[in-house]
Amino acid sequence: MAVLRPFKAIRPRKDLASRVAELPYDVMSSEEARKIAKNNVYSFLHVDKAEIDLDENVDIYDKKVYEKANENLNKMISHNILIQDGKNNFYIYRLTVNGKSQTGIVGCTSIDDYIDNKIKKHECTRKNKEQDRTNHIGICNANTGPIFLTYRYNDEINDVVNMCIREKAVYDFTACDGVRHEVWVVDDDGIIEKICNLFKGIDTLYIADGHHRAASAVKVGIKRREENPNYSGDEEFNFFLSVLFPDSDLNIISYNRVVDDLNGFSTEEYLSEVSKRFYVETCGGKDGYNPFCKGTYGMYLCGKWYKLTAKEGTYNSADPVDKLDVSILQNNLLSPILGIDDPRTNSRISFVGGIRGLGELEQRAKKSRGGVAFSMYPTTLKELMNIADSGRVMPPKSTWFEPKLRSGLFIHKLK
């Protein structure tokens, strides 16, 4: 039984929604954020990446950054850029790109469901990133970015959502990346109650994106429980901001890899090593190679594209993690040949969302002078759910969801 409850969202004025909403804090550098928000005082990056309003020498994890975020958030509220709704509502959030839409319900999910593994995870988190968002949430006293959750498609929930979006959206804008964002307010108490009851029939929710934000929100909630031993369980800090999409709506694209060098091998030696575990074919043409089925990879090396196909015996087909394409590449090439034993911490490897295209992989490999790039076949949502259900985790950077949810459209205050 999943807990989903309505809340009083703090959200932008209708005329400012498109100027407030921004991509998540973790998909851009501080330098990129400074450029994006430079001429936009309404940008939510002033909250989610508040270092852009401080001296460039200030460490992004300095307490000053979180205090500046809180100051900027309160300023946006006091200046009526952001306004809190007067009652607890649900919200419908639809994103559309290239004719495909995903439509989710915005509400608050329970930290107890996370603790009890009713909200399942598929990747590990890093302590420094957890601490960053814990500080941000705690000092801002708010969830400023939603957790991207999914659930197995449900006809009744789908019918309610479709009924809610018959009305005119309160926000409807297309961002500079071509993604259309629409938001509806669900303020009818009867419909709100129905949504709550329908989610009581959902056994499991899955984190699609936002593992660090989720873990941090839970840590803040637990800390506040300790500070308030007589808490009732109904306080806002017991819940965190989420957008819940049916699995049928979602799209995972590839998460590609670039390694800076060949780990001391010559090109010929490297290709010889690779051929022991993969069939290696040279690709003709200048368009590169995007894998079209599992067990295959594109490899860009010394100005040429190759197709790699995993040989038999390179993975355990009965193990849901071992048979992932990202695991096969990691266990048979990145680690034993290129020496990338821990991709979470090794500075020689970088990860590139497939939305950037093969040209980005070529540029990065050329820039490193002797590097190699790999295009991947996307992990499937079924694989994600199976691994989460088994209590296992994926290798890092296994999934890239598009389109990205915008931050700043919904803020959840913790008290």
3-state secondary structure 258-309: EECCCCCCCHHHHHHHHCCCEEEEECCCCCCCCCCCCCEEEEEECCEEEEEE
Q: Is the pLDDT of residue 151 over 80?
A: yes
Structure tokens at 360: 């980005």
Q: Which residues pair with 372 in a beta bridge?
A: 259, 301
Which residue, chain included where needed, has tokens 């994106």?
209
Mean of all residue pLDDT scores within the chain: 95
Taking only the tens place, the pLDDT of each residue in 372-398 is: 999 999 999 999 999 999 999 998 889
CB-based contacts of 351, cutoff 8 Å, min separation 6: 255, 256, 257, 258, 396, 397
Edge-to-edge strand ranges of the sheet holding 255-259: 278-282, 304-310, 296-301, 372-375, 255-259, 349-353
Give the max Cα distance, the chain.
69
What was the pLDDT predicted at 226? Answer: 97
Predicted local distance difference test score (pLDDT) of residue 135:
98
270: which 2 tokens? 């490297």
> Band of the pLDDT at 27, cuts 50, 70, 90?
confident
How far is Cα 11 from Cα 409, in angstroms, rounded to an integer? Answer: 5
Compute φ and ψ for 2, nearest 5 degrees: -90, 140
Q: How many CA atoms lie within 13 A of 192 on its CB side?
A: 17
**192 CB-near residues (< 8 Å, 6+ apart):** 6, 88, 89, 90, 186
Q: What pLDDT, on the 0 to 100 scale, is given for residue 126?
A: 84
Question: CB within 8 A of 226, min separation 6: which ones?
Answer: none
Is the pLDDT confidence value at 185 over 90? yes
DSSP structural state of residue 322: T
Q: What is the pLDDT of residues 331-356, one digit of tens each?
A: 999 999 999 999 988 999 999 988 88
Q: What percent of the chain lies above the pLDDT cut of 70?
A: 100
Cα–Cα dist 195/179, whole Å: 27
The CB-based long-range contact list for 30-39 (8 Å cut-off, 24+ gap) reads 30/56, 30/60
**pLDDT, tens digit (0-9, with 9 covering 90-100), for 244-256:** 999 999 989 999 9
Local confidence band at 287 (pLDDT 50, 70, 90 cut-offs)? confident
Tokens 């980005």, located at residue = 360
Long-range contacts of 314-319 (CB under 8 A, 24+ apart): 314/277, 314/278
